[in-house]
Amino acid sequence: MTREVKLNELTALLETATYPLPVETAQAEFDDVQLVYADGSEPLAALLDRVNDEQFDSPDEAQSSIYSTIPVEGVGEPGQSEGEG
């Protein structure tokens, strides 16, 4: 069964793993996770395929690496701000 995880829930998910965490282990551990974007979704394992790291030393490091691979469209409209309106 697929687990859908929103971007704002990614940190909590990553904190469930044991670190240091090899990327290959993360792919296996989170192979059922679909990361939900503002404009769709993508398997977390696909994002992990694109990271340049071989291992994450902390949840923060994992999140930073994953966020760097997310398409700009995935986080919302370019230039959009939460405070505007």
pLDDT tens digits for 34-55? 999 888 899 999 999 999 999 9
Average pLDDT, the chain: 87
**Has residue 74 been placed in a domain?**
no
* Count of other CB atoms within 10 angstroms of residue 13: 19
Q: For residue 16, what are the CA distances in angstroms to 4, 19, 43?
A: 15, 10, 18
- The pLDDT, as a whole number, for residue 43 is 96
For residue 76, being part of any structural domain is answered with no
Residue 26 within any structural domain of the chain: yes
**Is 19 part of any domain?**
yes
Which residue would you say has higher pLDDT here, 12 or 84? 12
Say how many domains are in the chain.
1
pLDDT digits (tens, 9 = 90+) for 53-69: 999 999 999 999 999 99
Residue 48: inside a domain: yes
For the entire predicted model, the pTM comes to 0.80
Instruction: Report residue 49 CA to chain centroid gap.
Output: 11
Its domain, for residue 41, covers: 3-69
pLDDT digits (tens, 9 = 90+) for 5-34: 999 999 999 999 999 999 999 999 999 999
Residues in the chain: 85
- Does residue 20 have a cis bond before it (omega within 30 degrees)? yes
Identify how many contiguous H helices and E strands the chain contains and give both numbers. 4, 5
